Structure 1
Amino acid sequence: MKPLTFIAAAALTVVAATGAHARSLQAIQKDGTIRLATEGYYTPFAYFEGKNLTGFEVDLAQLIAQKLGLKFEWKTISFDALLTGLKQDRWDLVISSHAITPEREKAVSFTQPHYCSGAQVIALTNAIQGAKDLEGKTVAAQTGTTYLDYVQKNVHGVKRLVNFPTNEAALNALMTKRVDAWVTERFLAKEMLRKNPKIRFHQGDMLYVERIAAAVTKDNQPLADAWNKALQELLRDGSYAKLSQKWFQEDIRCPD
């Protein structure tokens, strides 16, 4: 079976550390361009079509930047390096489907959530549906994700938990039967099944629900506040709903 390809590795831009200090909202406005960072592997949120970065979070971030009167510059790097790079002031804001967790909140400041989702069990058989069915199984998850952390801490009896640097690698491991199940984000799984209806994957239970937000450095709350204000405007004027329907055919905002 031909493996799915979400992005060519050559399309990634790995940004070297610059040693610059975090830019204030005022400095960003003076420059006129906000530096945004994402993974770029995460269909349908942020991925490459040829050389063009696209996806729900890409579209949303660009609309927010426009609301703020700013141009935007994208950087793409591996998921587990995004928040580290943010703390090193290599970009102004990260938007890459990060769930808000107490541990992450110690390191960065989150904006208001721009969607809600959660972890889902994906397998080649409907005999594997939920956490209890992972007992004695080999399970895949992406490095640095809350999904990996959840399985480590809350799912008991797993034979082996294998972490992969990308979701593509985890998916390929499932397709080639090197693992029995894959724990990942539900909208990513939905998109995977939509694009590949001939592949006999089974979507199992949701393990938990989480709120997803963009992140800025701890001392950059004015930037987060401006981002939140622009996001609320998009929610009110219907722009968010249009994007959500375009990418998911449903409204994925968090309930009030």
Structure 2
Amino acid sequence: MRKFLLTTLLGILLLIVAACGADGGDSEEVAGDSSGDGGDGGDFTFASSGLYPPFNYSDNDKLVGFDIEIGTALAEEMGMNPDPVTNPWQTIIAALNSDKFDAIIGSMAITDERLEEVNFTEPYYESGAQVFVAEDNNDVTSIDDLNGAKIGVVVSSTFEENAKEYTDEVITYDSDVTALQDLLVKGRLDAVITDQLVGMYAINENNLAIKQVDEPIYLDQMGIAIKKEDEELLDKVNEALQTIKENGTYAEISEKYFGADISGE
């Protein structure tokens, strides 16, 4: 009798295990079907330093700015969920190539050196490398006065390389905001080289007592950086970028931050 009961219980247990196995197989198949939807949907994770107002910065612990809104518009155009994140600027390309995010939308200038490591979309705006000094600084009145000066720049930026053409005293910062504020500390800096729009924003919106010197040193074209091997995403972002320029979304975002369309088109 005991043997019969054990045999019966063993049989019931085997039936339960078999049933669970069948259910598990069905669940796995459904999961596989949901991921094979042609690449639509999902998150579009894009990175910036988060320290570059008005392009990308934190406001009440939320990432905001021109770059963030452009990235959000691109994600929505591609049918994806926007997921903006931050990463230190000096390691941002390495982080992209380590699959920490899908793209860099952080006002990154397109350079030959960077093109060796990543691909860039078509430029999404153009701006100039501008010299700024304290409002009461009358010693630096032209680009020629930068020779031998103490110049502040963001680390690993194109501005850092440019500053080294004028002086050995290049002081690097994680944030343009901090560099510009240091112009007001006597004896700390003679000048800062940064994006013209960033400096003008600090003057107009933050009432920082600084002024621009001369015309821009040069113009940069800014692109969205994407991994070399991700050509499909590059094409999708380029297509979405063209669409938001044509349908007025880009211009609306640009007008909000700069009072003009900075696309150059």
Q: TM-score range by the shorter chain?
A: 0.7 to 0.9
1:130 deviates by 3.4
- Which one scores higher on RCO, CA 8 angstroms, separation ≥ 6? 1
State how far apart, in whole Å, the 2-side matches of 1:28 and 1:208 are. Answer: 43
Q: CA RMSD in A?
A: 1.8
State how far apart, in whole Å, the 2-side matches of 1:83 and 1:55 are. Answer: 21
Does residue 162 (structure 1) correspond to residue 171 (structure 2)? The answer is yes
Does residue 147 (structure 1) correspond to residue 159 (structure 2)? The answer is yes
Does residue 80 (structure 1) correspond to residue 81 (structure 2)? The answer is no
State how far apart, in whole Å, the 2-side matches of 1:27 and 1:41 are. Answer: 36
Contact in 2 for aligned 1:28/1:34 (Cα 8 Å): no
Secondary structure of the corresponding residue to residue 39 of structure 2: helix
1:243-254 map, 5 Å:
243-254=253-264
Consecutive unaligned residues in structure 1, runs of 5 or more: 1-25
Which residue of the partner structure matches residue 62 of structure 2? 52
Deviant stretches of 4+, over 6 Å: none
Consecutive unaligned residues in structure 2, runs of 5 or more: 1-35
State how far apart, in whole Å, the 1-side matches of 2:111 and 2:145 are. Answer: 26
Which residue of the partner structure matches residue 234 of structure 1? 244
Secondary structure of the corresponding residue to residue 29 of structure 1: coil
State how far apart, in whole Å, the 2-side matches of 1:66 and 1:30 are. Answer: 11
Which amino acid is 1:97 matched to?
S
Structure 1 residues 144 and 77: alpha-carbon distance in aligned structure 2, compared to 1, 3 A threshold: same
1:168 deviates by 2.7
1:27 deviates by 9.0
Which residue of the partner structure matches residue 53 of structure 2? 43
2:198 to 188, 205, 209: 188
1:131 deviates by 2.4
Secondary structure of the corresponding residue to residue 57 of structure 1: helix
State how far apart, in whole Å, the 2-side matches of 1:28 and 1:80 are. Answer: 35
Question: How many residues are treated as equivalent by the alignment?
Answer: 226
State how far apart, in whole Å, the 2-side matches of 1:206 and 1:249 are. Answer: 20
| Deviates most, 124-133 or 79-88 | 124-133
**Which structure shows the bigger proportion of residues in helix conformation?**
2
- Is the radius of gyration larger for structure 1 or structure 2? 2
1:169 deviates by 2.7
Q: Percent identity?
A: 29
Contact in 2 for aligned 1:140/1:182 (Cα 8 Å): yes
Deviations 1:26-70 (A, max 9, x none): 899356111111111110011111111110010011011000000
Structure 1 residues 30 and 250: alpha-carbon distance in aligned structure 2, compared to 1, 3 A threshold: closer
